Homo-oligomer: A and B are copies of this chain.
């Protein structure tokens, strides 16, 4: 064993000749929609990777526009790193100060003006940006989405966004499992002629946490209260407990598998009864304990069969189901703990033992890294 070792980038940089260092970089122009937690983290990562991307990939990611509901900004030659740092720190509220266009639509309509320049619209919002994205595509931009809404609403929008795969200008790895390599892996299976038999997964860290706590004998209401306190849930925990977010992810995978499903075809099991929908958050939290006995019985029944409860999404034989299901305690899904996500692809080639990916499926650092990786994939495909 040698005593010395060096990290990858340093080794590489030292090995570069002067000519390599001076080589002109290829510019990729970024138009980012959304300056929330993921958006700001993405800006930070782009800044932190400047040297790495220059020396190893010969790329410079140049932010020409940022937009949010607060406002929007367009700088033809790109925002300075100084301004980007400010935006990463302060978020959307600093957009105004930097000279706003006031409207996201205007920003998108400006894309593609400088022909031959590679422009990528990065959507890290959680809004229905469908028409903006379709406009951007039409204008020749690439698209990178962490936003699930456009791909998980109407089938016709999904088709238009993913049509003409020859162009390969749309990537959305982080819509399922954040930075975990779910969409890309699935795409590779399909592109090599494999046939999907079943996809199974747990795509909600929040619901995963609650299910783990139920395993441990904690009551449902306590588990939800804990998850809220730990910041795992949305401000209104019903946004998680309704299963809508999981249903969106499952629908995206089902559509990728070729199932022509509409949003209405995937009705997630809600973990609370409909009549609790109209309550205020405080009332809802106060009434949670009324559900405890039902869940206690379900957990006990599952346990008597060697099973545990997991909030499972399943794509199989043209159907997509999203529900609280019993899984064997000693299976990979049963062994899942806390905020982790899991997805298992059972295919013609991965028949006896599925291909399984496990890891944290949420959080700004891993989500932003997944978005950045998609940007790099587009940028590298478009080289030369």
Contacts and interface: CB of A to CB of B under 8 A. Distances in A.
B5 A260 contact: yes
A369 interface: yes
A265 B4 CA distance: 11
Nearest to A382: B384
Contacts of A23: 166
Nearest to A58: B166
Given A2-B262, A8-B257, A49-B192, A179 B349 contact: yes
Interface string A193-204: 111000000000
A230 interface: no
A45 interface: yes
A45 B192 contact: yes
A334 to B, nearest CB: 10
A257 to B, nearest CB: 6
Interface residues of A, number: 79
A20 to B, nearest CB: 8
A353 B339 contact: yes
A321 to B, nearest CB: 9
Contact of A376 (B7, B166, B192): B192
Contacts of A4: 260, 318
Contact of A56 (B5, B165, B370): B165
A360 interface: yes
Given A5-B260, A258-B9, A358 B359 contact: no
A139 B380 CA distance: 21
A181 interface: yes
A355 B180 contact: yes
A229 interface: no
Contacts of A257: 8
A353 B359 contact: yes
A204 to B, nearest CB: 15
Contacts of A185: 181
Given A260-B11, A381-B381, A356 B358 contact: yes
A359 B350 contact: yes
B381 A366 contact: no
A216 interface: no
Contacts of A6: 258, 260
Contacts of A53: 191
A57 interface: yes
A48 interface: yes
16 contacts: A6-B260, A7-B195, A8-B257, A8-B258, A9-B258, A52-B193, A168-B383, A181-B188, A191-B372, A191-B373, A192-B372, A355-B357, A355-B359, A357-B357, A358-B358, A382-B384
